[in-house]
Chain A
Amino acid sequence: MKYYDKLIFELSKKGRVGYSLPVNRFPAAPELPHELQRAAAPALPEVSEPDVVRHYTNLSQMNFGVDTGFYPLGSCTMKYNPKINEEVAALPGFAGLHPLMHAGLTKGALKVYQEMNKALAAITGMYTFTFDPCAGAHGELTGLMIMRQYHMNRGDLKRTRVIVPDSAHGTNPASAAVCGLEVVEVKSLSNGRVDVEALKPLLDDTVAGMMMTNPNTLGLFETEIKTIAALVHEAGGLMYYDGANMNPLMGVVRPGDMGFDIMHLNLHKTFSTPHGGGGPGSGPVGVARHLEDCIPDLRVSGFHGNFGVILRAYAYILMLGKDHLKKVGQYSVLSANYIKESLKDVYKLPIPDVCKHEFVFDGLVNDGAREGVPGATTLDVAKRLLDYGFHAPTIYFPLLFHQALMIEPTETESKETIDAFIEVMRKIAAEAAEDPMLLHEAPHCTPISRPDETTAARNPILKYQDA
């Protein structure tokens, strides 16, 4: 990667254009009344087409992506994004479809939704899905709306609390708050699982439900899930499944069979659609049969959700079919355990159990701390990985450990790639023991070095005009 300093505004020169529009053959319409016109033209760049192409190509070369290298990024499931999916989503018969066309004009699109619904129901054990949510957190919010709607439909209005484990993704409590629910946290045991005894006293007739991800964010299967679901149901609550960690269960375990009533999936994780530098995603929400009636009143996005993402995910499902589905789960779990076993002598492993798709280290065994030199932190390890051509793991999450390094490989990484990652992680551990300053100052080989984030937040410069 090479450093490139320009912003598109800095290439601008009055009189350059990057567009080609048809000659206007319509008679001139009356001008807008003066008081409805903007006073001055917007300060957009004036650049030619080659300027634009070269600028954004240069920008792209400062980016890391799945096609560049390995992301051991916990809870993010950065798997390979198949290229046929892109081809399918760009077909003009889909890309040119107006969202308000009636069913008679959109039979192909509707068939995609129907077949996708059936496929996701088969994979998850849920009854039916809504495809409107545009991301995972959006799915959570929609799922919680369904949960509240269910209680409202029964006239049970006092159920305003939702139980969330302390290991949950940050979006869980945030989505609950947006949905008008009060968040009650339930503690984890020292083995990383939900403390059933701590859960029991929280369950009363004000509980709307419980949100869980299984495997949890430590990558551990919640072995007491049957008891937990039974307790929550007995108290009149519903079970919500956060599908961010669905990948290891693909083809092996179905959330619907474990007693979950509502769930979302992240098509941009489990179903191979590209992350796009932070979106677009898609977060379809599935419900058990008894909740089907709670969906129709909800409108959480403009039209039909992120259809282009759904198309990609459906192509992926057809490529896997029932034949390869199970391997997604198995290979991702195998790779995670393999990395864990290969590094546990140099990184602290708080919970030694067989993990699922991901696991968490709590920093280095020997961080190199000595008189006057602080030890290498998880942040330092993460930044040093960038020097060796790997993306960093998820760091400082979950909050249960101070130096959390959360690692998730996926089924699309080869043993060679994973071995190379292990070798680098061991090398970094040795570097830390030897010379922690080398890690404090990392990265050394990326287009830029560590930024001054404090100044960025204290004196925000958020647009070109401010700079």
Chain B
Amino acid sequence: MIPDFQRVEVSDTTEVADSTYVLSFPEPESAAGLEPGQFCMISPELHPSDVFLPRPFSYYRVVDSQTIQILFRTYGRATRWMASLVPGNRIGVFGPLGNTFTIAPHARRAVLVAGGIGLPPLVLLAERLAALDDPPEIDLLYGEHTGDRIIDIKASLPAGVHLHLCTEDGAVGLKGLVTDLFRPIIAECNSPPAVYTCGPNAMMAALAGLLAPDSVAVFEASTEENMACGKGICKSCVIPMVTQDGTVRYRYCCTDGPVFNGFEVKWPHS
């Protein structure tokens, strides 16, 4: 699908957990063709007062094939601006951009590991996997620092997706890290599972450390880096990758990714 730049009216902004919002806007043209892992660039009007560049966000959900939802957490001024949007406000949306996850046809189990605001692309992926003719068993592991940040997605997940929660403060689910949820689930897999992840680099690096390439059908990580254009022009969003000869080469998060083979990414401090 060819990405398009459109100005759309926000239909809703709802706070769904501490500092965490769902932004909804209509985009019937691209909604039907979106793939999990793909993203869009959200921008204010051309001459804003304090937010200047667009920001990349993974697609979270598509409602009734008409409305696109983005899940975001306030961090800097752009996300604070987004949190202030009310129905009728206009935003620029450029997308769909980037690649998608690989569906491993022979994997009978899919383990999706989300850390914090890395959740959105994995929710969309869980929906797509559950809708397959012969769906694998799907486990969605989701961790947050604190209980007040947990987004209540249980009721809206498709039947058959097993949700496992953890928090570092122990307020919701297991007290600990997603890797603590991950270890026993991987240990009980009878055949190589498909593992997908999105979250902090340290978390994704830890998962890479727990897996061997021959023990999984695929291990894919959705990455993020500062970017301006989303289309391979600004050359900003490089992700270091380890090549077969051991050298490090940069690939672009926006056009080569954002989803990469998690074993090939040169994780920080790895």
A binds B: no
**Residues of B participating in the A interface, judged by any CB pair closer than 8 Å:** none
Question: Contact residues of A with B, CB < 8 Å?
Answer: none
